[in-house]
Structure 1
């Protein structure tokens, strides 16, 4: 279960007077942050995020902007690596710009990795732990937990990835806390629902497992093992109607930003 994947980051937008800068405007003002990327339509969204992220990082090289750019470059690198292997029949130089873009992504990821290795920013601590298998960064990340510095849903989900196999009950508490941190009408990472479904199922707490499976389904998750869960409920002669009512209440509480742990 990929808890380290974090839900998608919001695109950083830079104001130009009262209007947002476009990619074309950024590339005209700072051509150096565009010319070493691909210049065709492949990976258009990922390229846009990288360009705007590079612009932000140059203006303000903060840990926050460096972390965002690292994630943007990872997504761009994955996309352009695939595209760089596609022959462009009529314009073969297009393939070359994709290769250049891929090489740029590797270079920039290394640069940002090196520049942030000493950072105590929780997102970067998690990054270096998961990407570089750094135990020292993990230790500092867990220290940040004790200092209450991980108070975002994304960081709580990252923390849950550590405790998942070590302490299932603590993982449940962390994921519940993550839900309590979402504001009203926020997009909730469905990994929370699938994780809770799985943990409760393994604990043989089938009403709770069914409850979170319903929320996962509501969030668009497919391939939920309702058949197995319902079979266990039927064997224990537990009706599903009341659980479904609780699930409806939980969905409403999350949507209004007032999540409370459901009682069974």
Structure 2
């Protein structure tokens, strides 16, 4: 029988689809778009306001100003991720085809009043300008991204090392990034998650250790259940993770523990997915491996519930699970 959860290979490929939230001052800043534009008008002239991509534009402008005030590898990485999101939205926006003036104003000009002809010309000029502005924003975003990549190309900051590995396929940066972890450098939860992306291809035990460490430092403000209802076995679960990578950590731990025959631990993290309104794990398959032992399952559910509470409070420690598992 096959467990319907993410395989290790699939875990690695899916995590590149989105970036975890980073708990840094970019998210805590009170700087407004208006203030950023006042301090650096050129950015707001280059990236003109538009009905689409408003939030992405605001993040880009504010982030660029904050990075200028306090340059660092971590903040450069955060800004590069922001630019990626802006470019993704901006590219879609640039592909929008406006209704041609001759279609919107479909009467022959010989039958139009002077006011109608003027309106048609204004509309024609407007859609040309909007198209030009969208194209310019997209191209300017590409240039800004290339400039930041160049400016921080020599950075040894772990965030930039991860960026160069994951985006630019820089194996040397990957080696430095992983070596930093192995040598005991303090990595934030999101970086530990990225470390596991690599280790999962090398060693199950090492990957599990990195994933558990990521949970131990997971920011409590980012932890919580999914909104809405998810259908059981939904294969598009990652699209609703919304940057909250604890779901992906749980899925990976379920897969790794199940693969290694540690069904009790697989159950704990599968149940954590259920507690957080995520049904991507085949919970019933794990129950079968446990022999549907009601007493054991009840104990494991209690452990899972306690872990959930610890994570909500930002107090999770692997020692709790290790102690609780002594009775199994």
TM-score by length of 2: 0.72
Higher relative contact order (CA 8 A, sep 6+): 2
Which residue of structure 2 aligns with residue 80 of structure 1? Answer: 90
Whole-Å Cα distance in 1 between the matches of residues 256 and 316 of structure 2? Answer: 19
Matches of 1:259 and 1:14, distance apart in 2: 24
- Structure (1 or 2) with the larger CA radius of gyration: 2
SS at match of 1:21: coil
Q: CA RMSD in A?
A: 2.4
Q: Does 1:167 align with 2:228?
A: no
Deviations 1:172-215 (A, max 9, x none): 11111111123555536221111111111222222211210111
Do structure 1's residue 156 and structure 2's residue 170 form an aligned pair?
no
Tell me whether 1:109 sits opposite 2:145 in the alignment. Answer: yes
- Residue 174 of structure 2 corresponds to 138
| Gap change, CA 1:260 and 1:229, over 3 Å in 2 | same
Partner of 1:260: 317
- For structure 2, list consecutive stretches of 5 or more residues without a partner in the other structure: 1-10, 100-122, 224-243
TM-score, normalized by length of structure 1? 0.88
- When structure 1 is superposed on structure 2, of 192-201 and 30-39 the one drifting more is 30-39
2 CA distance for matches of 1:141 and 1:210? 32
Q: Which runs of 5+ in 1 are unaligned?
A: none
Per-residue CA distance 1:5-24 (angstroms, 9 max, x = gap): 43123572797xxxx43212
Cα pair 2:21 2:190 within 8 Å, conserved: no
Task: State whether residues 3 and 157 of structure 1, in contact with CA within 8 Å, keep that contact through their aligned partners in structure 2.
Answer: no
CA separation in 1, counterparts of 2:40 and 2:271? 49
The 1-side partners of 2:28 and 2:275 are apart by 35
Question: Is the 8 Å Cα contact of residues 21 and 222 (structure 2) preserved in structure 1?
Answer: no
Equivalent residue number for residue 26 of structure 1: 36
Count of matched residue positions in the alignment of Structure 1 and Structure 2: 260
Shift of 1:71: 0.9
Structure 1 or 2: more helix by fraction: 2
